[in-house]
Structure 1
Amino acid sequence: MAEPQEGWVRATATVEPREGWSGLTSFCSALPSQGEAKRLGLVGWVQNTSHGTVQGQIQGPTARVRELQEWLRKVGSPQSCISRAEFSNEKKITALEHKDFQIWK
């Protein structure tokens, strides 16, 4: 686990596929989300919900968290069409609560 640094944040993300896209599409969108988070050096988790959305928590340097948020809003997974990406519960943190970025089932 990385050493605590000033400027780290934690945020909750909820991503909704466009109407008509299946839960399988939601699962497929979790995989690229994990890959992009790892590429940016972020930690946290992502999982599919029973409502057909993908939800997760992102932790890391504020600028990198913002990059992933923009990626989810504007690019996202090539296997899904995202209708909306929302972020909530953002909080400054002094230590990471996860060691890597995982897909929870």
Structure 2
Amino acid sequence: MQKSLDSWLKEEWTPQTSVKTSTASDGTVTTTKIESDKVVTTKTAPNGTVVITTAPVVQEPEDTTPFTLQKYVDKWKTYQENQAKMKEGQPKEPSEIDKVNSLPVIGK
């Protein structure tokens, strides 16, 4: 399977390019094209001036830390502490019993 994947990558696969276009309030059109090894940004001003910049794609460093459950336990604890702080000023969500009691009564 690995050999067939390698041959497909070499012979048939072409990297996908991503193109994003945005227009600023002053009429400047910015087009960003992401290729496999570089990012090309084209800015076209309303008067016709074109500026093209090219930058290499920066790869994120690979995470080589070993898998430990303690890491996820610590994340869960931090999330629970922050969740309590985020909900501190908000009104309490109604319970399931309150929701059922608020439904209209049928047949009475």
TM-score interval, normalised by the smaller of the two chains? under 0.3
Length-normalised TM-score, structure 2: 0.27
Length-normalised TM-score, structure 1: 0.27
More relative contact order, 1 or 2 (CA 8 Å, 6+ apart): 1
